Homo-oligomer: A and B are copies of this chain.
Amino acid sequence: MARKMKTMDGNTAAAHVSYAFTDVAAIFPITPSSNMAELADEWAAQGRKNIFGQRVEIVEMQSEGGAAGAVHGSLQAGALTTTYTASQGLLLMIPNMYKIAGELLPGVFHVSARVVGANAISIFGDHSDVMATRQTGFALLAESSVQQVMDLAAVAHLSAIKGKVPFLNFFDGFRTSHEIQKIEVLEYEELAELLDWQALDEFRRSSLNPDHPTLRGTVQNSDIHFQQREVSNRYYQNLPEIVEGYMAQITKLTGREYHLFNYYGAPDADRMIIAMGSMCEAIEEVVDYLNAKGEKVGLLTVHLYRPFSIEHFMKYIPRTVEKIAVLDRTKEMGAFAEPLYLDVKAAFYGKEWVPQIVGGRCGVGGKDVIPSHIQGVFENLKAASPKDHFTVGIIDDVNHISLPLGQDIDTTVPGTTACKFWGLGSDGTVGANKSAIKIIGDHTDMYAQAYFAYDSKKSGGVTISHLRFGKQPIKSPYLINKADFIACHNQSYIYNYPVLDGLKKGGSFLLNCSWSQAEIASKLPAAMKRYIKENDIEFYTIDAVGIAEEIGLGGRINMIMQSAFFKIADIIPLHDAMRFLKEAVAKSYGNKGEKVVAMNHAAIDKGIHSIVKIHVPADWKDALDEAVQRKEIPDFIKQVLVPMNRQEGDQLPVSAFLDMENGTFPLGTSAYEKRGIAIHVPEWVADNCIQCNQCSYVCPHAVIRPLLLNEEEFSAAPEGFCTKAAVGLKDLHFRLAVSPYDCTGCGNCAQICPAKKKALQMKPLATQLGQASLWEYAMMISPKVTPINVFTVKGSQFEQPLLEFSGACAGCGETPYAKLVSALW
């Protein structure tokens, strides 16, 4: 019987399964785990029932410390209790974890594993949080993919109940928690059948209850404490077989074979990797790739990391293996090796069979683990003395321990179409792509995967949507490195980002821009032109902004871009795509009235018919940019900030961070980050202005700054530099300067303006750029200040210190921008 399939992310899969087995969920939100708790909360509010026919009781606490305490108390009261957390949140739960485990309570923590903050914090995935709990007595169960989360989260709950040991069930934050996959769903009826109802009954009966009181949590002396810790051993000894048993049941249900340790690869492998988490899916791809080339390699995926059963561990490793590389996705300062590596070596020590074992770190801090990293690891194992204690995925020119990256190979299953979309945070690109993947996932027999890369800037930052589609299940738990299709939804990006990186030979590129075929050659950077020509790229443009304005959709270009994508990428028949898109629009916008639906339907039609196929002349292959004289800028900006902003931070070597070991970053860097991302920026209408300066006060990016100029300064201003007489300040000229390149287009300024006729009006960025030079001028009027982002306001209405500032800044060389801003506001 074909199982029901659904397109969802890892968090949703975990929430789906955990809800089934949960009486009480004690929660506190932390990225990237929040969605699990939010879903449970939402479902409970909607009255969804768990396998016991009851609504889950949700308790939101004041911190993860409180959530863990509530879990403990609720379990002792006989309720199956669950929580969801990550990173520092998990660390706050550690004290209670010892208690929950010590008291043999079947709680389950679902953890979207995430970096623990050290010299910097990060919301992305590695195992440093989970590894900080490996000594608590919790069982640790790991999954490598969204489908595995669906399959094995159930094993965690079932085994906790039967085995009387709490479980920490984890999968990689963002990579698995936020990756959308079309997966098979386990139904609650099936899960209910797997439950050990007798064990559950025992658990409920042994809860603390005033009707039959008992004593727990005694304070013990050294006479009996040791003995009383040893008596629990058998629960941990029995657990591996219990977990293996439930895995067998899941295997029976799903046809997917699960063990505590899953071996994948050549049965007679000579080299092998041992790893845990999402990277295992990438390793499997590389194993297939290399074995197809005649190599003999394999992978042991660790699912049950604690209790660590050496017996099961040894069972699956082919005796032909001579060399092993253990990959840990964590870094433990001070340990001479990472935890899984320590375990593996210790497990093999003293055995007759002594393979060569090396180990290293990869994927730390959420670093994408891609096939070339893995290929590099297998390559390293070929050496007589493979490099040990290595890192992979970075260039380490300080410690010199990084492996050279392997070949840039394409290991994604053949027949998969990979599509990448460059968007602007909150421009609708991500939402449209989520809708696209559901259309394809839920309406066709195709598998689909989506991952949305965006940085912590969120709204206003760059978003890159990575979509894969195909007839075969998709592993590839990494960003698209080989794309069939790339769309760029913001024309400014072509100057700032390596938009075409990874586009396959003959692939398609869709650029949203206002340029005609005639203009395009003069607009594109030379490198882009060369890439397009050399790689026979099918190059399309569409003026989505223009079309949206024309239809009346304002800046909402996502429907236009989406239909253009369906047309060009040709993943499903265009006719179907149009129908599904229009149905989706009707569903989403139906309640906003016929007109809105009609506009969006028009956008879909226009999207298909307004694509312009660009003719690529032969001379593009020799294109060269004019030499540009760049201003002298500080090393940090040149060497770190600019590459990071260009989305090329992954290539920064370790040495780029020398002297920043303790997490110190220079200030004043936004002065060099003129992003120009706003579609609409404010224009100052001098006649309407009442000089209240509220617009300046509310601007979160210091875009709007009131200036006062004396006569001398005013007379030195260029033409078009309009001002008005300053209120209450004789002989001074007032002006609101606007820095369009800093603006994100939020419109707060225009909204707050109390003038009868708004003195700030949002206009398309292009029309405002003339102001930029004026702004530059304003910045330059004092000869003493540093040339960027620092300015003098002479005769200002502000306190005296401000006036003194520019000179001092230029003099001391210390982050003048920050000082200026703090002095102003």
- Mark contacts of A202-224 with chain B using CB atoms, 8 A cut-off: 1 yes-contact digit, 0 otherwise: 00001000001111111111111
**Set of chain B residues within 8 Å of A345, measured between Cβ atoms:** 345-346, 349-350
Q: How far is the CB of A804 from chain B (nearest CB, A)?
A: 16
Q: Which of A664-672, A709-717, A734-742 contacts B (4 or more CB under 8 A)?
A: A664-672
Q: Does A824 contact B (CB under 8 A)?
A: no
Q: Are B814 and A120 in contact (CB under 8 A)?
A: no
- Mark contacts of A325-337 with chain B using CB atoms, 8 A cut-off: 1 yes-contact digit, 0 otherwise: 0000001111111
Which A residues fall within an 8 A CB radius of B?
65, 88, 91-92, 94-95, 98-99, 101-105, 115-124, 128, 131-132, 134-140, 164-165, 206, 212-236, 306-310, 331-337, 339, 341-343, 345-350, 354, 356-357, 361, 363-368, 391, 393-396, 398-399, 401, 455-456, 640, 644, 647-650, 652-658, 660-667, 814-815, 818-819
Considering the complex, give the chain B residue whose CB is closest to the CB of A215.
B665
Instruction: Supply 17 A–B pairs (Cβ within 8 Å), ascending by A.
Output: A65-B92, A102-B119, A119-B232, A128-B135, A132-B132, A135-B332, A137-B334, A138-B334, A221-B366, A223-B647, A224-B644, A227-B652, A227-B656, A230-B331, A234-B398, A336-B347, A346-B349
Q: How far is the CB of A721 from chain B (nearest CB, A)?
A: 33
Question: Assuming the A-B contacts A131-B135, A216-B663, A649-B221, are A230 and B98 also in contact, with contact meaning beta carbons closer than 8 angstroms in the complex?
Answer: no
Q: Are A456 and B91 in contact (CB under 8 A)?
A: no
Q: Are B134 and A120 in contact (CB under 8 A)?
A: no
Q: Which interface residue of A101, A102, A346, A648 has the most chain B CB atoms within 10 A? A: A346
Q: How far is the CB of A358 from chain B (nearest CB, A)?
A: 9
Considering the complex, give the chain B residue whose CB is closest to the CB of A100.
B118
Q: How far is the CB of A729 from chain B (nearest CB, A)?
A: 31
Considering the complex, give the chain B residue whose CB is closest to the CB of A214.
B664
Q: Are B232 and A658 in contact (CB under 8 A)?
A: no
Question: Assuming the A-B contacts A132-B135, A335-B306, are A665 and B214 also in contact, with contact meaning beta carbons closer than 8 angstroms in the complex?
Answer: yes
A122 CB contact (under 8 Å) in B225, B333, B666: B225
State the copy count for this chain. 2
Considering the complex, give the chain B residue whose CB is closest to the CB of A311.
B336
Q: Are A660 and B225 in contact (CB under 8 A)?
A: no
Question: Assuming the A-B contacts A227-B654, A356-B350, A364-B229, are A117 and B102 also in contact, with contact meaning beta carbons closer than 8 angstroms in the complex?
Answer: yes
Measured CA separation A655–B230 after assembly (Å): 9
Q: Which interface residue of A94, A230, A654, A818 has the most chain B CB atoms within 10 A? A: A230
Considering the complex, give the chain B residue whose CB is closest to the CB of A669.
B215
Beyond the given pairs A128-B135, A227-B654, A342-B346, 4 more chain A to chain B contacts, judged by CB atoms under 8 angstroms and listed by A's residue number, are A91-B95, A102-B118, A225-B365, A307-B335
Q: How far is the CB of A241 from chain B (nearest CB, A)?
A: 15
Measured CA separation A99–B119 after assembly (Å): 6
Considering the complex, give the chain B residue whose CB is closest to the CB of A124.
B222
Closest CB pairs A-B (n = 4): A102-B118, A225-B365, A223-B649, A222-B366
A94 CB contact (under 8 Å) in B94, B101, B227, B661: B94
Q: Are B663 and A103 in contact (CB under 8 A)?
A: yes
**Set of chain B residues within 8 Å of A236, measured between Cβ atoms:** 333-334
Q: Are A134 and B228 in contact (CB under 8 A)?
A: no
Question: Assuming the A-B contacts A226-B394, A230-B391, A815-B213, are A101 and B333 also in contact, with contact meaning beta carbons closer than 8 angstroms in the complex?
Answer: yes
Measured CA separation A814–B361 after assembly (Å): 57
Q: Are A331 and B102 in contact (CB under 8 A)?
A: no
Considering the complex, give the chain B residue whose CB is closest to the CB of A363.
B226
Q: Are A222 and B367 in contact (CB under 8 A)?
A: yes
Q: Are B120 and A217 in contact (CB under 8 A)?
A: yes
Measured CA separation A334–B308 after assembly (Å): 6
Q: Are A657 and B224 in contact (CB under 8 A)?
A: yes
**Set of chain B residues within 8 Å of A647, measured between Cβ atoms:** 223
**Set of chain B residues within 8 Å of A306, measured between Cβ atoms:** 334-335
**Set of chain B residues within 8 Å of A213, measured between Cβ atoms:** 667, 814-815, 818-819
Q: Which interface residue of A232, A310, A658 has the most chain B CB atoms within 10 A? A: A232
Q: Are A223 and B364 in contact (CB under 8 A)?
A: no
**Set of chain B residues within 8 Å of A103, measured between Cβ atoms:** 118-119, 662-663
Measured CA separation A309–B365 after assembly (Å): 25
Measured CA separation A94–B135 after assembly (Å): 13
Q: How far is the CB of A267 from chain B (nearest CB, A)?
A: 25
Considering the complex, give the chain B residue whose CB is closest to the CB of A454.
B221
A104 CB contact (under 8 Å) in B95, B356, B662, B814: B662
A92 CB contact (under 8 Å) in B95, B233, B309: B95
Measured CA separation A104–B339 after assembly (Å): 22
Q: Which interface residue of A116, A220, A650, A656 has the most chain B CB atoms within 10 A? A: A220
Measured CA separation A445–B233 after assembly (Å): 49
Q: Are B650 and A223 in contact (CB under 8 A)?
A: yes
**Set of chain B residues within 8 Å of A212, measured between Cβ atoms:** 814
Q: How far is the CB of A680 from chain B (nearest CB, A)?
A: 27
Question: Assuming the A-B contacts A121-B220, A215-B664, A215-B665, are A229 and B132 also in contact, with contact meaning beta carbons closer than 8 angstroms in the complex?
Answer: no
Q: Are A95 and B102 in contact (CB under 8 A)?
A: no
Considering the complex, give the chain B residue whose CB is closest to the CB of A367.
B226
**Set of chain B residues within 8 Å of A231, measured between Cβ atoms:** 398, 654-655, 657-658, 660-661
Considering the complex, give the chain B residue whose CB is closest to the CB of A479.
B222
**Set of chain B residues within 8 Å of A334, measured between Cβ atoms:** 134, 137-140, 165, 236, 306-308
Considering the complex, give the chain B residue whose CB is closest to the CB of A336.
B308
Q: How far is the CB of A114 from chain B (nearest CB, A)?
A: 11
**Set of chain B residues within 8 Å of A215, measured between Cβ atoms:** 664-667
**Set of chain B residues within 8 Å of A116, measured between Cβ atoms:** 95, 98
A219 CB contact (under 8 Å) in B104, B121, B135: B121
Q: Are B218 and A665 in contact (CB under 8 A)?
A: yes
**Set of chain B residues within 8 Å of A135, measured between Cβ atoms:** 128, 131-132, 332, 335, 339
A229 CB contact (under 8 Å) in B92, B331, B342: B331
**Set of chain B residues within 8 Å of A367, measured between Cβ atoms:** 222, 225-226
Measured CA separation A218–B669 after assembly (Å): 13
**Set of chain B residues within 8 Å of A102, measured between Cβ atoms:** 117-120, 662-663
**Set of chain B residues within 8 Å of A818, measured between Cβ atoms:** 213
A394 CB contact (under 8 Å) in B118, B230, B648: B230
Measured CA separation A367–B226 after assembly (Å): 7
**Set of chain B residues within 8 Å of A342, measured between Cβ atoms:** 342-343, 346
Q: Are B228 and A120 in contact (CB under 8 A)?
A: yes
A230 CB contact (under 8 Å) in B136, B339, B398, B663: B398
Q: Which interface residue of A333, A346, A656 has the most chain B CB atoms within 10 A? A: A333
